[in-house]
Structure 1
Amino acid sequence: MDLEKLKRIKNLIIAKILFVFGWIYDLAMRILNAVNKTPIEKDKDRRNVRIKQFAIATSILYVIFNSIFI
């Protein structure tokens, strides 16, 4: 197979895994009802923290999967 095609397939698999991870995270937050428990001011602060945590976790997973497939 062509090397470019393998790279595209690898990136597609990584994107799908990260999408599923985000979807599961979103479902967990909805189940816990964590977004709507607090007043608006505190909710914005907590949401910002969750966004940062999600971004860090996603980037760590991306690096791990990327290093595995290399």
Structure 2
Amino acid sequence: MPVLVARERLIADLSSDGHLLVWASPGSGKSTLLRQWVEHALARGLRAALVDGSSGTRLRTALASRSSIDVLVIDNA
């Protein structure tokens, strides 16, 4: 059950504030959690994008098109 609680908390934090820093050990599941949140946001009709923060080109492209995205999630795992 802790994963479900963490997932609900993550969704609440991202939805209410728009900014959330997730820091955890490698292999903790944070990338999976973020991907699931984006899928949930898309299902609700939000224009969401998940970008790999280690790719500078993809990140710049996503930031340039920010006006057409409701939620931009950057995974810098």
Highest RCO, 1 vs 2 (Cα 8 Å, sep ≥ 6): 1
- Report the TM-score, using the length of structure 2 for normalisation: 0.32
Higher helix share goes to which structure?
A: 1
Instruction: Give the structure with higher Rg (CA).
Output: 1
TM-score by length of 1: 0.35
More strand by share: 2
